[in-house]
């Protein structure tokens, strides 16, 4: 089966992030996570670290007591798979000392 989703560039994801930051902070948090993954996969550790930190800062503004509160709204962003649940523990587990 062929994927119909085109991989978005980091520039495209950053544009999406800026738009979402003004309209939907949870979507922006998901996109920040996707940017951290994309930069890590490209070997750009400094940029990945910046996006991990941005994601963690955004997550601080959301409650995280229940699974429903941390469930992602999308399965992927720009062809980057999102975790089912997005909270600081998941980010730190996936990025280790990078964060």
pLDDT of residue 99: 46
pLDDT of residue 53: 96
CA 37 to CA 47: how far, in whole Å?
Answer: 10
- Mean pLDDT by runs of 10 across the 99 residues of the chain is 66 97 97 97 96 97 95 95 96 80
- Burial class for 85, CB neighbours closer than 10 Å (0-12, 13-18, 19+): middle
pTM: 0.91
pLDDT of residue 93: 94
């Amino acid at each position: 089966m062929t994927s119909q989703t085109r991989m978005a560039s980091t520039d495209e994801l950053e544009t999406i992030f800026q738009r979402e930051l003004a309209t939907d902070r949870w979507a922006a948090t998901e996109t920040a996570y996707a940017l951290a993954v994309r930069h890590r996969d490209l070997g750009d550790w400094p940029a990945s670290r910046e996006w991990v930190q941005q994601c963690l800062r955004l997550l601080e503004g959301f409650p995280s007591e229940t699974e429903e509160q941390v469930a992602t709204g999308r399965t992927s962003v720009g062809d980057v798979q999102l975790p089912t649940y997005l909270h600081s523990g998941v980010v730190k587990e996936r990025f280790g000392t990078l964060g």
